[in-house]
Amino acid sequence: MPTWIDDPLFVRPLLAGLALALLGAPLGCLVVWRRIAFFGETLAHAALPGIALALLSGLPPVAGAALAALVTATLLVLLAHDGETGHDTVLATLAHIGLSAGLIVIAVNGSIRLDPMALLFGDILALGDADVIVTLIACLAGGLLLARFWRPLVFLTLHRDLARVAGLPARFYDIAFLAGLAAYVVLAMKLVGVLLVTSLLVIPAAAAQPFARTPEGAAARAGAVAGIAVLGGLGLSFVHDWPSGPAIVAVGGTIFLGARLAAAFRR
């Protein structure tokens, strides 16, 4: 047995990564079904100025990212329902505003010490014990909440009007879902980085879709894909010194391509 298996530098990100993978799977299914894959991207990009400003004012970066995500999610809820501008247009615009603002803040403040590569692509070595514990607890809480909200969220995704007539408060679930998604993005950012955080949501869900017959089946299959991606990606990262985020995405992406090609040929 290779020695790195029980190396804390490997075990810590593995535990956090598996927890994030298992929570990201059902969350990612909802993202894919609602066609808001770009939303996580937008949140992550928008977190950049939040992180920079937090570092400037001596706050923990996570607080800055969370605040930026909250502002972005609120803007999205307000802007996307005016019916004039498409959802994707609002998302793309907010993402680019966020990315630009972040880069400007970093550029004009030479005093901020940021490793851009770690921020953009994740840094497994930066995960401390406290990070892992916070991630595990947050994922457990998020999972319990999601299990409770699962059926209404699926109903609202399938047909918003029918769900509303059945008495579901659509706005409440919208905001809860987007807030949960924002929290997830902030949590997962350390592992896979700002640029790749959406892949943890979208790739496993997309790989699992063609083979599922129920919403829960899709979530379970996505969970399996995400778990394999995290395990394989972190292994590759640790053994071959690949950046952790891209390594996880490479494994997940390979499974996605294989599954989709298999589904295409089966048809």
Partner 1 sequence: MSRSRHGAPLVCLRGVGVVRGDLTILENVALSVHPGEIVTVVGPNGAGKSTLARVAAGLIEPDSGRIERRKGLKLGYVPQDFPSQPSLPISVRRFLDLPCRLSDADATRVLEGVAALHLADRPLAKLSGGERQRVLIAMALAAKPELLILDEPAKGLDPISENDLYARLPHLRDEMGFGVLMISHDLHVVMASTDKVVCLNRHICCQGSPKDIDALAAFPHFSDPDSANLALYHHRPHMHIHDDPEADDADLDR
247 binds partner 1 (CB under 8 A): no
Closest by CA to 47, choosing from 147, 137, 146, 119, is 119
Using CB under 8 A, count the residues that bind partner 1. 21
Choice between 213 and 240, CB closer to partner 1: 213
171 binds partner 1 (CB under 8 A): no
Q: How far is the CB of 250 from partner 1 (least distance, A)?
A: 24
Q: How many CA atoms lie within 13 A of 56 on its CB side?
A: 15
Residue 7, Ramachandran bin (φ over 0: left; ψ between -120 and 50: alpha; else beta): beta
209 binds partner 1 (CB under 8 A): yes
Query: Residue 254, Cβ neighbours under 10 Å: how many?
Result: 15
Distance of CA 163 to the CA centre of its chain: 26
CB 69 within 8 A of CB 50: yes
Choice between 26 and 243, CB closer to partner 1: 26
Q: How far is the CB of 22 from partner 1 (least distance, A)?
A: 20
Cα distance between residue 65 and residue 71, in whole Å: 10
Choice between 163 and 181, CB closer to partner 1: 163
201 binds partner 1 (CB under 8 A): no
166 binds partner 1 (CB under 8 A): yes
How many residues make up the chain in this entry?
A: 267
259 CB-near residues (< 8 Å, 6+ apart):
207, 208, 210, 211, 225
Stretch that binds partner 1, among 15-23, 151-159, 173-181, 190-198 (CB under 8 A): 151-159
DSSP letter (8 states) at residue 169: -
Stretch that binds partner 1, among 104-112, 117-125, 205-213, 244-252 (CB under 8 A): 205-213
Residues within window 33-72 making contact with partner 1, judged by CB under 8 A: 33
Chain residues that interact with partner 1, rule: CB under 8 A: 32-33, 151, 154-155, 157-159, 161-166, 209, 212-215, 217-218
